[in-house]
């Protein structure tokens, strides 16, 4: 099973409302883009973050930082403002190419998602317009390139 499918399956099993963003989302919308890690957004509330942490631990991923879901939730503003942290990273100790970033600066609540079906299960992806808006807000060079590719899909 592909890593992204393992991640999504575990999130679904733990009843996490999530959406794939980043490079995988760009590719799932139909633009060519290589990426290593899986970027996700969730409803920004403590129960959702706790379930996400458990879902990732279930597939043997560990936090890169010595923090818990409660810490990230409680100190998010400080982490973003003072430590420039935009994502909470999880990785597999035996295979560091297996990484998930939970984007902590984005709240999925009220945002549309698209369900993509693969041979190995369902993948929830941020909607095209929302993904473009998210990437515009980031403004990183790779995101600006992604925007160009995504706008061609409209």
Pairing of strands 95-103, 38-42: parallel
Spatial CB neighbours of 76, under 8 Å, sequence gap ≥ 6: 44, 104
* pLDDT one-digit tens code per residue, 99-128: 999 999 999 999 989 999 888 899 999 999
3-state secondary structure of 110: coil
Pairing of strands 38-42, 18-21: antiparallel
32-36, 47-51, 83-87, 105-109: least confident range? 32-36
Cα-Cα-Cα-Cα dihedral sign, residues 83, 91, 113, 70: negative
Structural domains of the chain, with CATH = 3-147 (3.30.460)
In 3D, which of 41, 90, 47, 101 has the Cα closest to residue 70? 47
């Amino acid at each position: 099973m592909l890593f992204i499918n393992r991640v999504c399956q575990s999130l679904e099993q733990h009843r996490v409302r999530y959406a794939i963003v980043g490079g995988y989302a760009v590719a799932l919308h139909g633009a060519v883009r290589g990426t290593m890690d899986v970027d996700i957004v969730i409803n920004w509330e403590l129960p959702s973050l706790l379930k996400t942490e458990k879902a990732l631990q279930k597939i043997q991923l560990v936090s890169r930082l010595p923090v818990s879901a409660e810490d990230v939730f409680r100190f998010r503003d400080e982490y973003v403002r003072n430590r420039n942290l935009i994502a909470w990273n999880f990785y597999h100790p035996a295979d560091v190419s297996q990484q998930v970033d939970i984007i902590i600066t984005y709240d999925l609540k009220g945002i549309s998602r698209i369900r993509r079906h693969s041979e190995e299960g369902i993948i929830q992806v941020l909607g095209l317009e929302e993904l473009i808006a998210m990437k515009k807000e980031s403004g990183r060079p790779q995101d600006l390139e992604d925007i160009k590719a995504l706008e061609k899909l409209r």
